Structure 1
Amino acid sequence: MIEMERIHHVSLAIRDLTRAHQFYAEKLKLKQITRPPFDSTGVWYSIGEGQQLHLLQHPAGETLRISGVDTTDGHFAVWVKSFEKTKQWLESVGIPYEARPNSVAGFAQIFILDPDHNIIEFDAPYLS
């Protein structure tokens, strides 16, 4: 049996590294970390203790979505401390979101799209 400990990283395809960096570093305030000198173009961020987000600039854009939030499509989720504070932050930086405070998932959910339509989910305890 494989003894898994945690997610190490999530990789997303992007079209424009500068535009993606503005979104992830400047709006979401993720901390950029050192990326090895691969032949591809990309940037890495820390998203928690020992967990990373890798953005890879895709030369042809073939793997990229063009539509809105579809929760049955590939996405990654981050657990956050506060549903309301996360919504407030997103509003303060002008990021549209789809909120599901009473989701049947067993916790509240907020969905956003990055500039390349990658879906990001923020999960939090139900509001009390």
Structure 2
Amino acid sequence: MIEFERIHHVSLAVRDLEKAKKFYSDLFHFQEIERPPFKSNGVWYAIGNQQLHLLEHPNGETLRTSAIDSVDGHFALWVKSYKNTIEWLEHIGVPYEARPESVAGFAQIYILDPDHNIIEFDAAYDS
């Protein structure tokens, strides 16, 4: 049996690495970390003890094009404050779908990155 410890990273395909970096680095202030010299273009970010890897995939064959659908593949980040996260998204002009009283047992907020990758922010109710 495999003994799992934690998720190490999530990788997302992006069409334009510079555009993606502006979203993740400039708007959300994700911390960029060193990436090995792979032959592909990409960037790695530290998110707590886990990592987000963005991999440039210029032809975009595998990338989604539709609106937010929480049944599609996505990654979720637990945030300290639902209210502050909503305020930040409004401040930076990123559209979102809020589910403050989700049946999940915690509040949820969904956004799309420039390549329509779905990101979910989760927080305790009334935080």
Scaled by the length of structure 1, what TM-score is found? 0.96
| Structure 2 partner of 1:108 | 107
Counterpart Cα distance in 2 of 1:83 and 1:109: 8
Partner of 1:37: 37
Question: Aligned pair 1:123/2:119, yes or no?
Answer: no
Whole-angstrom CA distance in 1 between matches of 2:61 and 2:25:
24
1:1-128 equivalences in 2 (<5 Å): 1-49=1-49, 51-127=50-126
Q: CA deviation at 1:37?
A: 0.4
Q: Secondary structure at the match of 2:20?
A: helix
Question: 1 CA distance for matches of 2:38 and 2:19?
Answer: 20
Identity %: 69
Residue 37 of structure 2: SS of its match in structure 1? coil
Give the unaligned 5+ runs of structure 2: none
The 8 Å contact of residues 16 and 58 in structure 2, kept in 1 or not, is answered as no
Take 2:28 and 2:7, find their aligned partners in 1: how far apart are those partners?
20
- CA deviations on 1:37-78 (whole Å, 9 max, x unpaired) are 0011100001112x0000000132111011110011000000
Number of residues of Structure 1 aligned to a counterpart in Structure 2: 127
TM-score (norm 2): 0.97
